[in-house]
Amino acid sequence: MSDARQFRPAVFPQIAYPRFKDKWVMVTGAGTGFGSTLAQRAAAEGANVIVHYNRSEDGAKRTAEVVESYGGKSKIFRADLRSWDQIKQMTQDVWEYSGGLDLLVNNVGDIATDQMSWRDIKEEVVDRVLAVDIKGTMLMVHENGERMLARGRGAIINIASTVVVRGSPRAPQYAAGKYGILGITKSYAAAFAPIVRVNAFGPGFMETESTLTREDWNNGRRERVLSQTPMGRVPPPEELAAAALWLGTAEASHMTGNFIMCDGGYSMIGA
């Protein structure tokens, strides 16, 4: 699938009180999908945005163009987050360029899109998913959080998933990877407190291009998800972006080590 098919500029209402005015926000995996939407929403709220990508260069460029259309600065960086060396180099370059991040959003995740059943599991896919979701997220938190801690401020949001509550019979390694993000979040939240806050956000199903073009989504899964969602709809990513970024604002100043979900009640659980 080309970047062009996956990229769609987000549409946001006029924001009277931008929460990230003149802040530096970095979003990983911002060339496509939810990552691109998060970057655009941050820009709509006054942020300068670091756009990270690994393979979606064209999408990253389009995201950066939208960011700049809101009046903020933007810079694109590439790195394979399975490599600590590449993470180290990128982090150094990002901090030198920006003067320091105020918010890091670890959005990158490998969801094993082509795997339709647990019966189709392959070792190389397990290794890839866990390397991106757990290793990559942890090392991004480690490298950037250490710098935030030394500077005396900052916040980190790790994008998890509702699969940590419901599991994933389609791709158990994906659920394991996202569940690992909760351990990373809580561990570094305790290590960095009270200077740097670290929280996790769990989006439910969204109408991203990767979801809309999946085989299972178009063969009954959408209808099953809708039937189990109290809110009765699958929203576009724009509807979830503001909720995710809220964790990085002063309004959430007493929240760290937490995991919040935004899925229309799909994963509703008891106390």
**Would you please indicate which residues are annotated as catalytic (active-site) residues?**
174
Query: In this structure, what token pair is assigned to residue 168?
Result: 């994933």
CA pair distance 168, 117, nearest whole angstrom: 9
At 261 the three-state DSSP class reads strand
CB 207 within 8 A of CB 154: no
Q: Find the angle CA(126)-CA(131)-CA(135) to the nearest 5 degrees.
A: 140
CB 23 within 8 A of CB 99: no
CA pair distance 156, 185, nearest whole angstrom: 9
The total of other beta-carbon atoms located within 10 Å of residue 223's CB is 10
State how far the alpha carbon of 156 is from the alpha carbons of 20, 62, 76, 231, 261, in Å: 14, 24, 19, 29, 16
At 202 the three-state DSSP class reads strand
